[in-house]
Amino acid sequence: MAAVATCGSVAASTGSAVATASKSNVTSFQRRGPRASVTNDSGPRLVSIAGTRPSVRNGQLLVSTGLPALDQLLGGGLAVGTVLLIEEDKYNIYSPLLFKYFLAEGIVNGHTLLVASAKEDPANILQELPAPLLDDKCKKEFDEDVYNHKTPESNIKMKIAWRYQLLPKMEIGPVSSSRFGHYYDASKRMPQELIEASNWHGFFLPEKISSTLKVEPCSLTPGYTKLLQFIQNIIYEEGFDGSNPQKKQRNILRIGIQNLGSPLWGDDICCAENGGNSHSLTKFLYVLRGLLRTSLSACIITMPTHLIQNKAIIARVTTLSDVVVGLESFIGSERETNPLYKDYHGLIHIRQIPRLNNLICDESDVKDLAFKLKRKLFTIEVDFIS
């Protein structure tokens, strides 16, 4: 009986405590340790860099490729510390557009650029970047270009532009430069004041090496060696290296390398199946990935893979790249006159998507992708019938 009475008293005291807590609207849960304060600036915070966002799938920091439709296909964007390889189309007409969109996105977000080329002066490449659509004044022209190119047949067979299908309606039109991913007018050039205000570094191969310089077989070509040294110096000197954090506000380094592997870089893989520099390109990519993995940088490379004689080299290059996107132009092919493809300029192939902090990659189920260069816009479209 004493035990029963004791239990009853405990139950009564517990009931009174609950009643008291309910009256004062105070929970009975007691937090251990100091309460986190909203105004406390000493706690850890996520890295906040303009033009970036963390991936909801693997926590990796992402940057935009300059094409919101391509960002969606890659799982939200291009991860910082990775290499995006663009397989050039046969006549190298459309791959330079993706290259310039990537650089233009960096300028709009205030990122540092490193532009490397053996064909064009980097200063001239920057002068040809497309103009961003940042304000509401451009929205009318933007919508007109979209709707003027829609035909009844295309509405039946195709769902136009991944950006309209996958993104919220509030993000369809041009907005401020603070957003992730922008739209660009391919018919106009970027304002000169934006280019002059940007921080960029150029690597023009003819100005860096002598044409009479010789190199031993099976080692890096002089062009690759100079470029790796140039990239390494920029990463370390400007604080993009993760082991030596930036003293000022943190920023992203966007690296663009044009026509890598072509004879202009001193490589012979496009000239002979078993050339003397057959391992030079793969060694370059191996070292480049090591530099990117420990730095706040992202790289885009365009490569004429259709000219490489040894197909085994293409397989190794694909393995050493994180993301591989191939462009197939209809120019000069049978598909150019095929009525099924009359509204499009080529196909886009997502050959490889990285597996970062994951066992599987975020790969789209849609494989039939086509691209179209309109008067102002470069769009990626998907065919659900084929």
Indicate if the pLDDT at residue 68 is higher than 60: yes
pLDDT tens, position by position, 188-224: 999 999 999 999 999 999 998 865 555 555 478 899 9
Quote the pLDDT of residue 272: 81
Quote the pLDDT of residue 354: 85
Top-confidence residue, 283 or 139: 283
Quote the pLDDT of residue 271: 85
Q: Which DSSP helix (H) or strand (E) runs through 299?
A: strand 297-303
Q: What is the DSSP string of 352-371?
A: E---SSSSS----S---EEE
Task: Give the whole-number percent of the chain exceeding pLDDT 90.
Answer: 49
Top-confidence residue, 86 or 369: 86
pLDDT tens, position by position, 285-342: 999 999 999 999 999 999 999 999 899 999 999 999 999 999 999 998 888 888 888 8
Top-confidence residue, 58 or 149: 58
Q: What average pLDDT does the segment 240-269 reach?
A: 86
Quote the pLDDT of residue 145: 57
Quote the pLDDT of residue 244: 64
The whole-chain average pLDDT of the chain stands at 79
DSSP code at position 243: T
Q: What angle do CA 199, 201, 203 make, to 5 degrees?
A: 165
Q: Cβ contacts of residue 185 below 8 Å, gap of 6+?
A: 130, 131, 132, 133, 138, 141, 376, 377
Indicate if the pLDDT at residue 30 is higher than 90: no
Q: What angle do CA 267, 271, 274 make, to 5 degrees?
A: 85
Domain limits, the chain = 52-383
pLDDT tens, position by position, 124-134: 999 999 999 87
Top-confidence residue, 221 or 142: 221
User: In angstroms, how far is the first alpha carbon of the chain from the final one?
Assistant: 81
CATH number of the structural domain 52-383: 3.40.50.300
29-52 in b/e form (b: 16+ CB < 10 A) is eeeeeeeeeeeeeeeeeeeebebb
